[in-house]
């Protein structure tokens, strides 16, 4: 089931990114250590009092052109209204209430969405008194916080969690494979949905962003049930939206959260651009099984090395997703389309694969025997035992004498050995190192 979405909205320089990092804690370190991830981070996951939710920092979205700042905050507000379940509206005590704050407040207030009003940079007792003027916005009690000192963050999270909805929609049986299509506008996601289904179920146009919403389409093929989630592009609302592809992030994230398998659709005619790396990275961070789908393959002049060269290019650009298979096809002509669903089914099985503890330990023991961990200042990492604790994605905990001795390169070596033994094609593996406590067997 999809996590609720919390969006942080506010004018520039109120500290949105600092609060974003506070809310998601150290989760960034888990995913950003990987090589090849070179993207701005505006999405994360937070947990508070047993409730998990996605957090979007709208400050990570850029707008070009005249009146850029005013357009930016207005569009952020509209975007949050459209996609978020709860909105954190951030102002700051130092500069006080501004006309921009008032304009955004009016837009948010009219939406009827739950709003938490957070006043940042309340760094001392004098600043505490500065929050009272924000009552005039008419959107509830302002919560004084300090991104730099971390004060008030617990109160903010309490208020957010209190307003989160109870998600009861879109439940599917466990045997249904949920497939999300993500990618830049106009790479052919809706055309691919239609090609798979064999009928015009989704509006298709050459104009980027013509699909109105994420659409669930259940179907069955060869005894396997699927649900296609087409994220498509953003709604077309003038030049501001047309010029900012990052606005597809919120919708894509909602679909990714709900999916078992993510199809990262790339336009074969245009090749790979940085935005493809941004989009694919979200599927990787969410721990989803993924497949690169190179669409419009019919429109490319080919020789016997074209496919091989394109795949090598994908591997060079997406070092952090070397596990994801590549499928070349054409939604328009249905060329090679029949190859897609068997790969979807295979990576879904790999994503849900559970390996018994003794088999995992055997593989890791052999790996250590072949290549023992290096010493660090005379101390050597000792691996006590290994166990898989979760699936979707396969999550493995390595219990050791001292987690600080586990070097990233050795962790990567163990992951490669596990992949060689058990395949895990199409799915990331999560490896966590923990200290073995005294009372563990």
124 is in an annotated binding site: no
379 is in an annotated binding site: no
- Evaluate whether 182 touches 265 at the Cβ level (below 8 Å): yes
16 is in an annotated binding site: yes
186 is in an annotated binding site: yes
Rounded CA gap, 205 and 225, in Å? Answer: 28
85 is in an annotated binding site: no
204 is in an annotated binding site: no
305 is in an annotated binding site: no
59 is in an annotated binding site: yes
231 is in an annotated binding site: yes
Rounded CA gap, 144 and 129, in Å? Answer: 10
123 is in an annotated binding site: yes
378 is in an annotated binding site: no
188 is in an annotated binding site: yes
409 is in an annotated binding site: no
189 is in an annotated binding site: yes
- Evaluate whether 167 touches 1 at the Cβ level (below 8 Å): yes
13 is in an annotated binding site: yes
Measured CA to CA in angstroms, residue 437 lies from 352, 384, 400 at distances of 29, 11, 9
Rounded CA gap, 355 and 349, in Å? Answer: 12
Measured CA to CA in angstroms, residue 90 lies from 70, 74, 105, 174 at distances of 15, 14, 10, 39
95 is in an annotated binding site: no
71 is in an annotated binding site: no
187 is in an annotated binding site: yes
428 is in an annotated binding site: no
436 is in an annotated binding site: no
Nearest to 255 by CA among 229, 236, 288: 229
233 is in an annotated binding site: yes
- Evaluate whether 73 touches 106 at the Cβ level (below 8 Å): no
185 is in an annotated binding site: yes
298 is in an annotated binding site: yes
Bridge partners of 215, per DSSP, are: 230
Nearest to 40 by CA among 269, 314, 282, 308: 282
Measured CA to CA in angstroms, residue 169 lies from 3, 256, 412 at distances of 11, 16, 38
User: Within 10 A of 395 (CB to CB), how many other CB atoms are there?
Assistant: 16
**E strand segments, 109-176:** 115-120, 143-144
Alpha helix ranges (H) inside 131-202:
153-163, 189-197
295 is in an annotated binding site: yes
Rounded CA gap, 244 and 255, in Å? Answer: 19
Rounded CA gap, 370 and 360, in Å? Answer: 16
58 is in an annotated binding site: yes
121 is in an annotated binding site: yes
21 is in an annotated binding site: no
Rounded CA gap, 171 and 191, in Å? Answer: 26
The annotation places the binding site for GTP at 10-17, 57-61, 120-123, 183-190, 230-234, 295-298
The annotation places the binding site at 10-17, 57-61, 120-123, 183-190, 230-234, 295-298
């Amino acid at each position: 089931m999809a996590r609720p979405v919390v969006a942080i909205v506010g004018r520039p320089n109120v500290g949105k990114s600092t609060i974003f990092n506070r809310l998601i804690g150290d989760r960034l370190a888990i995913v950003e250590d990987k090589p090849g991830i070179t993207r701005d981070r505006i999405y994360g996951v937070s947990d508070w009092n047993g409730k998990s939710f996605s957090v979007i920092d709208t400050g990570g979205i850029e707008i070009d052109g005249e009146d850029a700042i005013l357009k930016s905050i207005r569009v952020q507000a509209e975007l949050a209204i459209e996609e978020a379940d709860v909105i954190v509206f951030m102002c700051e005590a130092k500069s006080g209430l501004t006309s921009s704050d008032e304009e955004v407040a009016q837009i948010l207030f009219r939406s009827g969405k739950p709003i938490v009003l957070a006043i940042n940079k309340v760094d001392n007792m004098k600043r505490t008194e500065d929050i009272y003027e924000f009552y005039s916005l008419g959107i509830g009690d302002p919560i004084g916080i300090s991104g730099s000192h971390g004060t008030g963050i617990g109160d903010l999270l309490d208020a957010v969690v209190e307003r989160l909805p109870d998600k009861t929609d879109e439940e599917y049986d466990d045997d249904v494979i949920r497939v999300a299509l993500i990618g830049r506008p106009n790479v052919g996601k809706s055309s691919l949905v239609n090609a798979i289904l064999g009928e015009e179920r989704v509006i298709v146009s050459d104009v980027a962003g013509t699909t109105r919403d994420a659409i669930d389409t259940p179907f069955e093929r060869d005894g396997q049930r699927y649900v296609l989630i087409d994220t498509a592009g953003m709604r077309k609302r003038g030049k501001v939206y047309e010029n900012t592809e990052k606005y597809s992030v919120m919708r894509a994230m909602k679909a990714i959260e709900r999916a078992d398998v993510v199809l990262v659709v790339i336009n074969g005619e245009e090749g790979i651009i940085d935005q493809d790396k941004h989009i694919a990275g979200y599927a990787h961070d969410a721990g989803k099984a993924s497949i690169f789908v190179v669409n419009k393959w019919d429109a490319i002049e080919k020789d016997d090395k074209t496919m091989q060269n394109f795949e090598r290019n994908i591997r060079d650009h997406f070092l952090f997703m070397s596990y994801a298979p590549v499928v070349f096809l054409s939604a328009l002509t249905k060329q090679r389309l029949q190859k897609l669903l068997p790969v979807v089914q295979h990576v879904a099985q790999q994503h849900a694969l559970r390996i018994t503890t003794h088999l995992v330990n055997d593989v890791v023991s052999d790996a250590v025997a072949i290549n023992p961990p290096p010493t660090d200042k005379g101390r050597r990492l000792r691996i006590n035992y290994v166990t898989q604790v979760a699936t979707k994605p396969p999550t493995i905990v390595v219990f050791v004498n001292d987690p600080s001795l586990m070097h990233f390169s050795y962790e990567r070596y163990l992951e490669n050995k596990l992949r060689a033994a058990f395949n895990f094609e199409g799915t990331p593996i999560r490896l966590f190192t923990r200290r073995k406590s005294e009372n563990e067997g």
